Each structure stands twice: as C-alpha cells, then as structure tokens.
Amino acid sequence: MSFKSLLVHVDQSDGIEDHLAAAFSFAVKHDAHVAGLGVFDEFQFTHSFAVSMPGDEAQVFKKRRLERYEEIRHSFEKIAAANHWKGRSDWVVVNDDPIKTLDNYSRYHDLVILRKPSEEFLNMTSLLDSLVLKSVRPLLLLPRDRRAGSVGKNVLIAWNGGREAARAITDALPILRLANTVTTVSVNAQKDKELPNFDMTLFLEHHGVKVGTSKAISVEKRDVTVGYAVLDQAARLAADLIVMGAYGHSRSREYLLGGVTNHLLKYSTLPVLMAH
C-alpha cells in the first residue's frame, strides 16, 4: 500500500497557503497526486451563529466565495510549480454540502488532508467532527501554523488494542515505512493474556517498517486523561506525527466523538492521522 492520490481540503481562512505548502511537501515525499478541493454552500457558520442568505444576498455570498477561491487557486498552482508538481495536481471548487462532498470525493483518493479549524469557524469544526467518523479514508489533520516540513519522521502511535487503532496503523503504513522512529504508546494498558508474546512492533516489522526503528512503551497515568497522557508522551518523544484510531458513536444522526479523539482534535499542536 502507498499513498498515490491525496485529497487536500482547502478552506478560506488566513494562512491557507502554508497548509497547501505542507500538503505538497507531503505529496512529493510520497510521490502522490494532489487534488485540491474547495467546498462551500449557502450557509456560512461563523462566530457561533448561522445565517441563511436568500436571493441577492446569497448570490453576493457565492460570488465572494468564488473570488476568494480563485485567489487561492493561483497560490495552489504557484506552490505546485515550485515543487515541480504542476502536472500532478488538479483543482476543483464545489458549491454543495461540505460533509457530503468531502465524503464522496474522498472515496477516490487514498488520504484526506485537512487543516485544523480556527475556533471562530464553527462550520469547519462540525465538518471535521463528522468526517472523522464518517470518512472511508484516513484523515491527516495539520495544525493551523503548519508550514512545509517533516511529517512522519518521528511517529507516535496511540495503541489501545482496538479495531480503530489497528486500522489507523494499517492506513499509516506508507508513512511508518519511511519513518526514522516509530513509538507505540499504550496508556494504562493491561497485558493481553491471549497473546502474551506479541506486540505491535512485530506487526510493523512484518509490514516493512525498518527493524530497530520501532519500539513499544506502556505508560501509567491514572491522575490525568488518556488524551493528555498521549500528548505528553508526544512532547517527550519530540514526535512530529500522532497516529490513532478515531472513536465515537452516532446519536440522533449526530456523530459524537470519544474523549481521547476529541481531546487530540482540540489540543494537539502536531499533525494527527486518524481512521475510524
């Protein structure tokens, strides 16, 4: 497995050019095609309220969004050219429901790259929460201040033995095979009595992660949350990527994230690769 097609979600917030630069840097490293996707609808959620604009106002809103995306497209093409990747990238803007659009487009790509939303854009926060649990592809969430640089040289895997975590590891294998260091971290874990001689380092080595680059550690942190403990270990290890399973469930058609997933989405200052 390898990443050969990346879907990069493009919002209209300040600093989006840094996000695009980081995405292209990742694409070059993995020799992958880049599809930039801008998506909006007639509802814009900002500053804790939603406004639906009928008639002429909606047309003005649409025009402004399209003009801004045209500006971003020029930046996208400039960054592609700087990376000698112009022939391996394309761009599309869609006026439709963002969750449905991203979910549909993601099925034709190997990985979805998103930017962590700012607090004032509540529509992006809702979009991210839904995609984490609905997407059929893994998501790579980049911090807002992320510029082009390493993603995946020093990787922390948050491991709890669950199905979601196992899938996230499998989805992240293209990154893990190129990593200098891979550390599997279990927080407050109990030894598996049925498989006492197995740990995740064996699986990783069987799947091409270089022998000697991976290790497993167990952390006892009863006085703090698991999410806090994971981020604390990431800081101690100087990790540049966290790989984890996304947990949650649906209630009345709304997707609710689990505690650890929600904590990392809110507080991680590192890139996070998630799969559900």
* pLDDT for the residue 54: 56
Last residue of a domain, one of 142, 165, 187: 142
What are the backbone angles phi and psi of residue 266, rounded to the nearest 5°? -80, -40
Q: Per-residue confidence at 117, pLDDT binned at 50, 70, 90?
A: confident
* pLDDT for the residue 267: 84
C-alpha–C-alpha distance, residues 242 and 231, integer Å: 9
CB-neighbour burial class of residue 88 (10 A; exposed 0-12, middle 13-18, buried 19+): middle
For residue 189, tell me if it sits in a domain: yes
Q: Do 138 and 161 belong together in one domain? A: no
CB 243 within 8 A of CB 155: yes
pLDDT tens string 129-145: 777 777 889 999 998 87
Q: Do 131 and 168 belong together in one domain? A: no
Q: Do 271 and 199 belong together in one domain? A: yes
CB 26 within 8 A of CB 6: yes
Q: Do 121 and 39 belong together in one domain? A: yes
pLDDT of 3 above 80: yes
Q: Do 113 and 167 belong together in one domain? A: no
pLDDT tens string 21-60: 999 999 999 999 999 999 987 555 443 344 555 557 777 8
pLDDT tens string 152-197: 999 999 988 888 899 999 999 999 999 999 999 888 766 555 555 5
Q: Do 29 and 130 belong together in one domain? A: yes
pLDDT tens string 229-273: 899 999 999 999 999 998 755 553 344 445 777 788 888 889 999
Residue range of the domain that includes 189: 154-275
Point out which residues pair with 157 in neighbouring strands: 184, 243
Say which CATH number the domain at 226 has: 3.40.50.620
Total number of domains constituting the chain: 2
Which residue is listed with tokens 């698991």?
A: 226
At 244 the three-state DSSP class reads strand
* pLDDT for the residue 194: 53
For residue 147, tell me if it sits in a domain: no
C-alpha–C-alpha distance, residues 51 and 60, integer Å: 14
pTM of this prediction?
A: 0.86
Q: Do 133 and 19 belong together in one domain? A: yes
